[in-house]
């Protein structure tokens, strides 16, 4: 089985059998040492996405209104998953609802990395890659103009 993986798989450290592929920007987002070790142990192949598939993902995300929720990294992951799913069975492993939603619209199989993904409410914020300030939304830092990445702020358990 071939898996396209986002950072959550390595952060959670879930053990799966198969071949793993990710994009360079996911590797760049892995700050946690355990997550980096986990990625090395899984012998993950890092491949940049191609522009043709990035455009296909962007077009679909615009149509489904997921585009505001998707970071540049999310779009690269989806592009890589779309590229592979066109020629073989591929599963995208992600805990991100917007990525899951867009993937399903693109006909890509998805699997959550965490166990409780459906019960959790995730909230997000953007963090500047330059000055590290945090903002509720936007793609470009209003202070220094650097690009901003999406970050998970907290995780709230829904009441049963």
Q: How many CB atoms lie within 10 A of CB 146?
A: 14
148 binds Zn ion (CB under 5 A): no
Binding mask 99-128 for Zn ion (x = CB under 5 A): -----------------------------x
26 binds Zn ion (CB under 5 A): no
Please choose, out of 18-26, 37-45, 70-78, 137-145, the segment that lies near Zn ion by the rule CB under 5 A. Answer: 137-145
Instruction: With beta carbons less than 8 A apart as the criterion, state whether 78 and 85 touch.
Output: no
Give the bridge partners for 148, in sequence order: 128
Instruction: With beta carbons less than 8 A apart as the criterion, state whether 51 and 30 touch.
Output: no
Instruction: With beta carbons less than 8 A apart as the criterion, state whether 106 and 60 touch.
Output: yes
* Nearer of residues 143 and 156 to Zn ion, judged by Cβ: 143
Please choose, out of 36-44, 64-72, 86-94, 134-142, the segment that lies near Zn ion by the rule CB under 5 A. Answer: 134-142
Among 1, 104, 121, 131, binds Zn ion (CB under 5 A): 131
Query: Which two structure tokens, joined as six digits, stand for 138?
Result: 């936007």
Q: Which backbone phi and psi does 156 adopt, to 5 degrees?
A: -115, 125
* Nearer of residues 104 and 143 to Zn ion, judged by Cβ: 143
138 binds Zn ion (CB under 5 A): no
41 binds Zn ion (CB under 5 A): no
Query: Which two structure tokens, joined as six digits, stand for 56?
Result: 């296909």
User: In a 3-state reduction of DSSP, which class is residue 6?
Assistant: coil
Site residues for Zn ion per CB under 5 A: 128, 130-131, 141, 143-144, 146
């Amino acid at each position: 089985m071939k898996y396209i993986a986002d950072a959550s798989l390595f952060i959670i450290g879930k053990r799966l059998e198969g071949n793993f592929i990710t994009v360079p920007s996911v590797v760049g987002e892995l700050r946690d040492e355990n997550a980096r070790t986990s990625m090395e142990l899984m012998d993950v192949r890092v491949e940049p996405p191609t522009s043709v598939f990035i455009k296909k993902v962007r077009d679909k995300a615009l149509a489904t209104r997921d585009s505001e929720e998707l970071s540049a990294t999310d779009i690269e992951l989806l592009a890589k998953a779309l590229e592979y799913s066109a020629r073989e069975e591929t599963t995208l492993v992600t805990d991100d609802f917007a990525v899951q939603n867009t993937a399903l619209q693109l006909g890509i199989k998805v699997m959550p990395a965490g166990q409780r993904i459906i019960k959790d409410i995730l909230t997000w914020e953007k963090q500047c890659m330059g000055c590290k300030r945090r903002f509720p939304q936007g793609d470009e830092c209003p202070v220094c103009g650097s690009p901003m990445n999406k970050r998970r702020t907290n995780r709230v358990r829904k009441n049963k």
